[in-house]
Amino acid sequence: MTAKTLDGKTVAEAVKAVVAAAVPQLGRTPGLATVLVGDDSASHTYVRGKRRDAESVGIRSIHHELPATTSQDEVIALVDMLNADDEIDGILVQLPLPDGLHSESVVERIDPAKDVDGLHPVNLGRLLLGRPGLRPCTPNGVIRILEHYRIPIAGARVVVVGRSFLVGRPLALMLSEKGVDATVSIAHSRSGELAPLTTTADILVAAAGVPTLITAAHVRPGATVVDVGVNRTESGLVGDVDFDEVAEVAGAITPVPGGVGPMTRAMLLSNTIDAARARTGRL
């Protein structure tokens, strides 16, 4: 068996087309502010891509770049300024921040209505309560890929490997929400042997941050495997899934790169439009 490849680039382009069509309906140009602190090369690459994506769909990109020596108070002051700027609908502070800066305090300072990463405690709380709000981009992107390729979610048994607040935990909540209706289990570093659990999954999501953790032995034949891992190794970028091996067992699989990564950026744009609509009353 050779698994069908779930191409995140294709789905991301479809999302971007929807966003581009929505921009003129707002009555003004939406604004996305990005904040980059320090000189981490990967963060610079990510932010360049996000800014390029924003401009390609008609969203104004406002970028603030600060040196690694910037203090916590200076970062907070910048966030406060962006919160007060009516021309800015979304604020993204690129993580991780340099050593010595407290990421959680910075994220919590962002106005929840402009939190297009969907990571503010208010937005995560709304997710927990099943209320509308800005959803975390990567989990949202995972679900959009599954929907695009018509992978059945309702009633499906889903195993998420990884429990981070960035992906694993919010994704589990989103998959189990009313209207999505999956039955979800979370595996993590204290779960013991993974295979007895992961081989029960109709949909297996790998989000542990461990290169090639998931092998063919972890996958039920015909299952859908979504690889959220982004691991930089000497041989290049790899996911949490041994792609070549698992592709011989799974029914469908996302690649790394080109799978969930493009979707994270696309859902950032979608969140920016949602935030702009809410702020202008054009829901």
* Angstrom distance (rounded) from CA 191 to CA 186: 9
* Angstrom distance (rounded) from CA 239 to CA 261: 11
Q: Is-catalytic flag, 94?
A: yes
Residue with tokens 């921040």: 97
Catalytic site residue from 89, 117, 202, 240: 117
* Angstrom distance (rounded) from CA 275 to CA 283: 9
Catalytic site residue from 50, 53, 242, 274: 50
Q: Is-catalytic flag, 25?
A: no
CA of 32: how far to CAs of 13, 37, 50, 55, 96, in Å?
19, 17, 10, 10, 19
Catalytic site residue from 16, 53, 89, 94: 94
Q: Is-catalytic flag, 227?
A: no
Bridge partners of residue 65, in order along the sequence: 36
Neighbours of 226 (CB within 10 A): 28
Residues carrying an active site annotation: 50, 94, 117
